[in-house]
Structure 1
Amino acid sequence: MASDFSMLPLDLLGVIALKLETFEDFFKFSAVCRSWNRASSSVKHQWTATPVVPWLLLAENNQDNPDCVRKIYNLSNNKCYNLNLPETFGARCWGSPYGWIAMIDRNYDVILFNPITKAQIPFPCLKSVDDGGVKSKSDGSYQHWFLRCFADRLIVLKVPQNQHYEFVVLVVHVYYRSLSFARQGDQSWTPVLVKSEDQMLDVVGMGDKLFAIYRDGSIVSWNFKEFNALELIKPADYSPCGHEFLVEFNRGGCDHTYLVRSGSDLLTVLRYMDQYDHKEDDTISFRTVDFEVYRFKSKDKSWEEINDLGEVALVVGGNSSMCVSVAHVKGLQLNCIYFTDDECSFWKSVKEPGGHDTGLFDLKTGNIQRFYEGDDMNSSFAPPTLFIPQL
C-alpha cells in the first residue's frame, strides 16, 4: 500500500525540514502540501540555510498568461521557477537582501511583498508626494510616467529597534534627488533634510546609520535613532569635501554611482555606460562597459580604488545594493559585480528596451557577460530585479 506522507506527524515533518541545507530544498518542501507547509512554517525561524544567493525576478508577461505566472531565476543552479504572482503585475519592483520586493502599484501604493510566502507589508501611498509639477493626464500616460520615472529607487532597510528589527522604506525621488522615508505603520512619508545645493545619488544603511553620496562626492550620514515622523531629519556631514574623480565621473550623462556596504567597509561603485544613437528610427540605447570600485577611508576621508573584493560579489542596479558572500556558494563568481538595468530614461527604446543591460562584470579581467539568456527580460517600466529570498 502506498504511503501518504502528508499524514506524517507535524513534529516529525518539522525535524525533517530542519535537516534541509539549502533554501531551494526548504522552499520545495514547503510547497509539497498543506501539512508540509504548516510544518515548515512552524520551524522556519529555527532553520539556518547555507549562504543564500540572489534570485532574479524576471519581467512580467502579459501575453496568454491568465494566471499571472512570473518567472524567478536562481543564479546558483540556472533554474527558473514559475510562481503565481498577480500582486506584482502592473507594479514597479525593486529587490532587497531581506526576502522582500519593494513595489509601487497602479494606485501609487508602496508595498513590501515576499514572492515566496506572499506576505505583504503596506506602506503609505505616494500620491501625496510632490511629483515635480507633472500633471495627471486622462490617457494613462501619467500613470506610466509615475511608475517608470517618479522614484529613482525604493530601498529597504532592516533597522534595529528595541530588541527586534523593523523595516524602513526609503524613496529616492528622481527629479530633485530628494529622500523620504516611512516605517511600518506610518500614515505618510517624512522628508529627510538633504543637501539642497547638490543631487543625491544613492543611500545605504549600515547598522543604525544611513549614508548618502552626492554628485560632488561628499558623504552625509544620519542616525536612524533620530528618525522621527514628526519633523525633518537633519544630517551630519561625514565627508563634506568633494573628491575630484567622483566629481568628474558624475558629470557624465547616464553613468551611475552606487553605495554598497561590505562588512564594515563603505564602498562606492562607478558604472560606466556608453550611449548609442540609432539614426534609422531616431532612438537612443545604452550599454554598461566598465565598473570601478572604491573603498572609503574614514581616517582621512578619502577613497582608494580596489581591484579585489575578496570572497564576495556585489549586486547593483534596480534593487537595494547588496554584498553577497559567495566563497562557499555554487554558481556565483568571486570578485564580480552582478548588475541589472536601472537606466529608465531609455526603457521605451524600440531597439533595446528596458532590461537588456543586465549582466556580470569580472573586476579582475574587465569582461562582461550575461548571466541569464532568457527572452523574458524586457519591460518599459519594471525590468528584472535581484533579491535574496527568505521565508
Structure 2
Amino acid sequence: MAANDWSTLPLDLLGAIAMKLETLDDFIYFSAVCHSWNRVSSLIKHQWRPTVPWLLLAENTSNNPHCVRKIFNPSNNKCYKLNLPEIFGAKCWGSDYGWIAMVDRKLDVRLFNPITKAEIRFPSAETIPNRRPYDEEVDEDEEDYISWFLELYMKKLIVLKVSQNEFVILVIYHSFGHLAFAKPGDKSWTSVFVKKGHGCRMFDVMAMNGYVFALYSNASLVYWNIEDFQGYELVKPMDYLSSELQMSRKYHLLPFIHGISKLYLVESDCDLLLVLRFKESMSDDHPDIYETVGFSVYRLDPKDRRWEEIKDHATLFVGVHSAMSVSAKSLQPNCIYFTDDEFEQCKSRTELGQPDMGVYDIKCEEKWRFYEGDDIRSAYCTPTWFIPQLQIIGSDRQSNFRP
C-alpha cells in the first residue's frame, strides 16, 4: 500500500473512522472520496447517526415560487437551500430522529424527512379529542379557525420511538392541558389520561429507557410505560416527582408562575435534565412581548428524587422542538442554543425585527446571536432544530435511569 493511499485501508477500519464523524456534511464528503469509501458509507449509513442538529429556518412567502427553505448548520455557520413544498405553510416541530413533525392548513399531520423526502402520515388533527373548544374570540370563518388552531391550539408535537422502527406522535394541545397520541395507520387520535392539580400546565414530554415522562410547570414529573402508547387505551400516569423546584434567586419568581418562562426535558449523558428558561418584557413600550434573559439547568437525582442545579453540561438545544443534548467538538459546551417558542407573538416580533433566538453561556451568563439572517419568522412557524439523517433510525442510547 502506498504511504498516502488511504483508499486501500481495510473496510472495517474505514467504517470505524466514518462512525466518528459528527456531521452529515462530513459523512457526505467521506462517501465522495473514492469508490471504497463510498462503499463503506453505504454499508454503515443505517448505523451512523449525526450528533450536530440543523436549524430549519422560517419560510419565505414572498417571491419564492419553488418553496425554497434555508437550513442552517451551526458547526460551520453555513446555510443550505432545499426545495421543500411539502412543508410550505405548515407548522413544524423538529426531532432528534431526522423527522420534522408537521400540521398543514388542511390539518393533515405527517412526519417528514427534509433530506430524503420520506414521510409518514398520521390521522388528521380534526380527529384530536375535543378539538373545537368554545372560544368566543374565534368566529365561524374556517380560515380564521385554522389559523387559530395552528397558532394557538396546537402547542407541541413530540416524536417518540416505541420500537425499533416504529414512531408515534404525542400532541400537547389546548393551553398545555391536554395530551393525545397517534400511530401510523390510526383513524383518530387517542386521549392520554393526564393528572390534574400539578400547577396545571404541561410543558414537555420525552421518552427515556422505555418510559415516557411528562413535565409540569412546577417541575413535577409523571410517567408511563412506553408500551402503553402501542395500544388504544392508556393507564393512568404514575407520579414520579411531586416536589416543586427551588427557583434560582437571581430571577423573579412571579413571571415563571404566570407562564412567561418555559421548561424543557432533555436526556444528556444518561441523565435527565430540566432546562428552565427565564424571560422578561422587552421594554416598557412592548410589555407583552418577552425575550430570554437567562437559563438554569437541573439534573434529576434518581435516588433522592430531586432536582440539582448544574453548571457543566453538553451543548443543549431548546425551542419549539424536542430538546436535544449534543457532545460535539465543533460546539462549545455549557452553552444553550435557543429559538423562539412563543407562537402567540410571531406577528409582533416580525414587526419589531427582534427574534428571541441566540446562544446562552451558562457559566459566563452571557448571550449572543448565532445567526444573522432575516429568514427567522413566518406567519406562525418559528425556526426549529432537527438532527438530519440519511436513513431514519432510532437511538440505541441506554442508561441506568429508571423510575
TM range (shorter): 0.7 to 0.9
Q: Which position in structure 1 is the counterpart of 2:154?
A: 151
The answer to whether residue 141 in structure 2 is matched with residue 138 in structure 1 is yes
- Counterparts of 1:262-281 in structure 2 under 5 Å? 262-276=268-282, 279=285
In structure 2, relative to structure 1, the CA distance for the partners of 1:249 and 1:286 (3 Å cut) is: closer
In structure 2, relative to structure 1, the CA distance for the partners of 1:62 and 1:27 (3 Å cut) is: farther
In structure 2, relative to structure 1, the CA distance for the partners of 1:112 and 1:365 (3 Å cut) is: same
In structure 2, relative to structure 1, the CA distance for the partners of 1:249 and 1:307 (3 Å cut) is: farther
How big is each residue's C-alpha offset from its partner over 1:317-358, in whole Å with a ceiling of 9 and x where there is no partner? Answer: 1111111112xx32x111111111011221121665698111
Q: Which position in structure 1 is the counterpart of 2:347?
A: 348
The answer to whether residue 213 in structure 2 is matched with residue 214 in structure 1 is no
Structure 2: which 5+ runs fail to align?
1-10, 33-37, 391-403
Q: CA RMSD in A?
A: 3.0
Aligned letter for 1:231?
E
Contact 2:67 2:85 (8 Å CA) reproduced: yes
Q: Which position in structure 2 is the counterpart of 1:239?
A: 241
CA distance in 2, matches of 1:351, 1:93: 18
Aligned letter for 1:294?
Y
Q: Which position in structure 1 is the counterpart of 2:101?
A: 102
CA distance in 2, matches of 1:354, 1:87: 27
How much has 1:30 moved relative to structure 2?
Answer: 8.4
- SS state of the match for residue 309, structure 2? strand
How much has 1:68 moved relative to structure 2?
Answer: 0.8
Normalized per residue, the structure richer in strand is 1
Stretch moving more, 74-83 or 144-153: 144-153
In structure 2, relative to structure 1, the CA distance for the partners of 1:253 and 1:48 (3 Å cut) is: closer
How much has 1:108 moved relative to structure 2?
Answer: 0.8
How much has 1:141 moved relative to structure 2?
Answer: 1.8
CA distance in 2, matches of 1:242, 1:362: 25
In structure 2, relative to structure 1, the CA distance for the partners of 1:54 and 1:176 (3 Å cut) is: closer
The answer to whether residue 360 in structure 2 is matched with residue 361 in structure 1 is yes
- SS state of the match for residue 123, structure 2? strand
Aligned letter for 2:303?
K
- SS state of the match for residue 245, structure 1? coil
Stretch moving more, 246-255 or 148-157: 246-255
- SS state of the match for residue 118, structure 1? coil
Q: Which position in structure 2 is the counterpart of 1:92?
A: 91
How much has 1:196 moved relative to structure 2?
Answer: 2.1
How big is each residue's C-alpha offset from its partner over 1:338-384, in whole Å with a ceiling of 9 and x where there is no partner? Answer: 11101122112166569811111101101111111111111231011
Contact 2:175 2:201 (8 Å CA) reproduced: no
In structure 2, relative to structure 1, the CA distance for the partners of 1:153 and 1:347 (3 Å cut) is: same
Q: Which position in structure 2 is the counterpart of 1:53?
A: 52
How big is each residue's C-alpha offset from its partner over 1:61-87, in whole Å with a ceiling of 9 and x where there is no partner? Answer: 111111111111111111111101001
Contact 2:255 2:280 (8 Å CA) reproduced: no
Percent sequence identity is: 48
- Counterparts of 1:1-391 in structure 2 under 5 Å? 21=21, 22-27=23-28, 43=43, 45-46=45-46, 48=48, 51-129=50-128, 130-134=131-135, 137-138=140-141, 140-159=143-162, 161=163, 164-197=164-197, 198-245=200-247, 250-276=256-282, 279=285, 284-309=288-313, 312-326=314-328, 329-330=329-330, 332-349=331-348, 356-391=355-390
How much has 1:47 moved relative to structure 2?
Answer: 5.9
TM-score (norm 1): 0.84
How much has 1:143 moved relative to structure 2?
Answer: 1.5
Contact 2:123 2:184 (8 Å CA) reproduced: no
Q: Which position in structure 2 is the counterpart of 1:10?
A: none
In structure 2, relative to structure 1, the CA distance for the partners of 1:195 and 1:47 (3 Å cut) is: closer
- SS state of the match for residue 259, structure 1? strand
How much has 1:277 moved relative to structure 2?
Answer: 5.3
In structure 2, relative to structure 1, the CA distance for the partners of 1:39 and 1:185 (3 Å cut) is: farther
Contact 2:281 2:287 (8 Å CA) reproduced: no
TM-score (norm 2): 0.82
In structure 2, relative to structure 1, the CA distance for the partners of 1:256 and 1:176 (3 Å cut) is: closer
Contact 1:285 1:351 (8 Å CA) reproduced: no
CA distance in 1, matches of 2:223, 2:349: 41
Contact 1:193 1:233 (8 Å CA) reproduced: yes
- SS state of the match for residue 63, structure 1? coil
Contact 2:30 2:41 (8 Å CA) reproduced: no
Aligned letter for 1:270?
L
Aligned letter for 1:338?
Y
How big is each residue's C-alpha offset from its partner over 1:122-141, in whole Å with a ceiling of 9 and x where there is no partner? Answer: 11111122233245632622
- SS state of the match for residue 96, structure 2? coil
How much has 1:178 moved relative to structure 2?
Answer: 1.3
- SS state of the match for residue 345, structure 1? helix
Aligned letter for 1:207?
N
Aligned letter for 2:166?
E
In structure 2, relative to structure 1, the CA distance for the partners of 1:215 and 1:119 (3 Å cut) is: same
How much has 1:188 moved relative to structure 2?
Answer: 1.4
CA distance in 2, matches of 1:258, 1:100: 19
